[in-house]
Amino acid sequence: MEKKEIKSELLLNTENGWNRIDDKELPSLEAYAKEYISFLSKAKTERLAHDFAVEKAKEKGYVSVSEKEKLQPGDKVYISHSGRTVFFILIGKKDITEGMNLLGGHIDCPRIDLKPNPLYEDSELAFFDTHYYGGIRKYQWVALPLAVHGHVVKQDGSVVNFSVGENEDEPVFSITDLLPHLAQKQAEKTIAEAVTGENLNLLIGTVPVKSTEAKLKVKEKILQILNEKYGMKEEDFNSADIQMVPAGKAREMGFDRSMILGYGQDDRICSFAAFKALMDMNEIPEYTAGVLLCDKEEVGSYGATGMQSFFFENAVAEVLHRMEKTSLVDLNRTLSKSKMLSADVNSLHDPNFPEVSSPNNNMPQMNRGTIIQKYTGARGKSGASEASPEFVAEVRKIFNTNGVLWQTGELGKVDLGGSGTIAYYMARYGMDVIDCGPGLFSMHAPFEVSSKLDAYMTWKGFKAFLNYKR
């Protein structure tokens, strides 16, 4: 006779999410995954993610805040900075100084940027010299097809945007690696030293120009092509953002199609979920709902478009100004009474590397839902903005009453590594903030792995949070 396992109501539910989710929800989960995969395949840079979001928001009735003189409940506006950071806001019924319900994710991802003077020739081969962006493991970025996305500003201020390598009929680029036959010395090095930052040179062309006095004939040929296509000369590289990212689309993964493989899931998996959660709001919410898609998180949130800047509070001040709330006290109350899910990814227990996992059910596991992380930081919670237990309880309640599968955990073992998000910059305003998002395998690698179920539960959780009536 089969013995049925008796589960204690007192124990944390750690059952696999695929066994807990209602079958009726599966079509909605699959539809969500499809839409997310399509976004991930298109929005390969923060500029593309920004433009995608602004365009979609406009379709949903959002307008730039500058187009509105007065704001009232139901109004939908956005405030953008430099085409790389954007804040969307839907004005709620309650006075905004009662606080907002906010979601904040980042749309920048680890990648390889070009140096100011990237183009050079060596041994009759043309290369781009690069400087990587964010915490990449360099050895993972060689011998892969890479695509280029350029935003070039000419001296006269005109802009040329281009992309090569994403479509199947376009060429790609690659950083070459040593053949194993000659890699004995390289193989003795540590992983961190085997491929260095200065090794990350992209091979971009091999054909010389025919009739010229020029010494660097292959470089000259590349310049000719760039001039023909984009009207560029070498000096234009100096005033450009040119990024190399893994070429091609995101895909379903696994025989059971339960996962997603794609570039940039940290943190576009959360940014997309947050953005879509807001776009799905068809009624005027009780509390003003806001979604922040930000830049520069991967390099410490510096710069005018990073969350260490005053972009966010300036944006909120612009909104308040249009509600005739112009005192600093109004701004302070609005910010400090807001509640935010800092929408960012987490790590997962990977049985290939069990030695780094936080033990005793403190390591997030794939398919157990979105992850609420009370604190980040490592080695004594260093740098963490720990959420209050009161706020954690609120989030628990929101998720549990809305059928959102969730789990908690730490990023890894106590004395190992650690990381930060935008949470502590937002916590400076005194608002309740907690990190929340799905876990990934191979985070920061050219292709990261997520679970459809965890991605879907994140979106579901974000929707519930934006609609939270407190």
Shortest Å, Cβ 348 to Mn ion = 14
- Return the amino acid letter for 459: W
Q: Write the CB contacts of 201 (distance below 8 Å, at least 6 apart in sequence).
A: 127, 128, 129, 130, 175
CA-to-CA dists, residue 48 to 39, 56, 84, 448, angstroms: 10, 12, 9, 19
Question: Alpha-carbon distance 9 to 404, whole Å?
Answer: 18
Closest to Mn ion by CB, 271 or 288: 271
3-class state of residue 453 by DSSP: helix
Closest to Mn ion by CB, 236 or 266: 266
Shortest Å, Cβ 103 to Mn ion = 14
Closest to Mn ion by CB, 61 or 417: 417
Closest to Mn ion by CB, 75 or 267: 267
Shortest Å, Cβ 135 to Mn ion = 7
Question: Alpha-carbon distance 159 to 151, whole Å?
Answer: 7
From the CB of residue 251, how many other CB atoms can be counted at a distance below 10 Å? Answer: 14
Shortest Å, Cβ 108 to Mn ion = 9
Q: Which residue is nearest to Mn ion (CB)?
A: 267
Which residues are at the interface with Mn ion (CB under 5 A)?
266-267, 344
- Whether the ω angle into residue 435 lies within 30 degrees of 0, i.e. cis, is no
Q: Give the DSSP per-residue string, 269-296.
A: HHHHHHHHHHHT--S--SSEEEEEEES-
- Return the amino acid letter for 36: Y
Shortest Å, Cβ 459 to Mn ion = 17
| Beta-bridge mates of residue 112 | 132, 244
Question: Alpha-carbon distance 413 to 357, whole Å?
Answer: 6
Question: Alpha-carbon distance 48 to 457, whole Å?
Answer: 25
Closest to Mn ion by CB, 266 or 394: 266
Question: Alpha-carbon distance 378 to 266, whole Å?
Answer: 19
CA neighbours within 13 Å on the CB side: how many for 178?
13
Question: Alpha-carbon distance 265 to 450, whole Å?
Answer: 8
Question: Alpha-carbon distance 205 to 127, whole Å?
Answer: 7
Closest to Mn ion by CB, 99 or 439: 439
**Residue in the structure block whose two tokens are 């609005």:** 334
Question: Alpha-carbon distance 455 to 370, whole Å?
Answer: 7
Closest to Mn ion by CB, 46 or 344: 344
Shortest Å, Cβ 71 to Mn ion = 31
Closest to Mn ion by CB, 75 or 344: 344
Region of 92 please: left (phi>0), alpha (psi -120 to 50) or beta: beta
Closest to Mn ion by CB, 266 or 410: 266
Of residues 168, 130, 137, 147, the one with CA closest to residue 44: 147
Shortest Å, Cβ 211 to Mn ion = 49
Closest to Mn ion by CB, 266 or 432: 266
- Return the amino acid letter for 70: K
Shortest Å, Cβ 264 to Mn ion = 10
Closest to Mn ion by CB, 101 or 373: 373
Q: Where are the alpha helices (DSSP H) in 74-216?
A: 184-188, 191-194
Shortest Å, Cβ 13 to Mn ion = 27
Shortest Å, Cβ 298 to Mn ion = 5
Handedness of CA 350, 15, 372, 53 (dihedral sign): positive
Query: In the 8-state DSSP scheme, what is residue 85?
Result: E
Shortest Å, Cβ 376 to Mn ion = 10
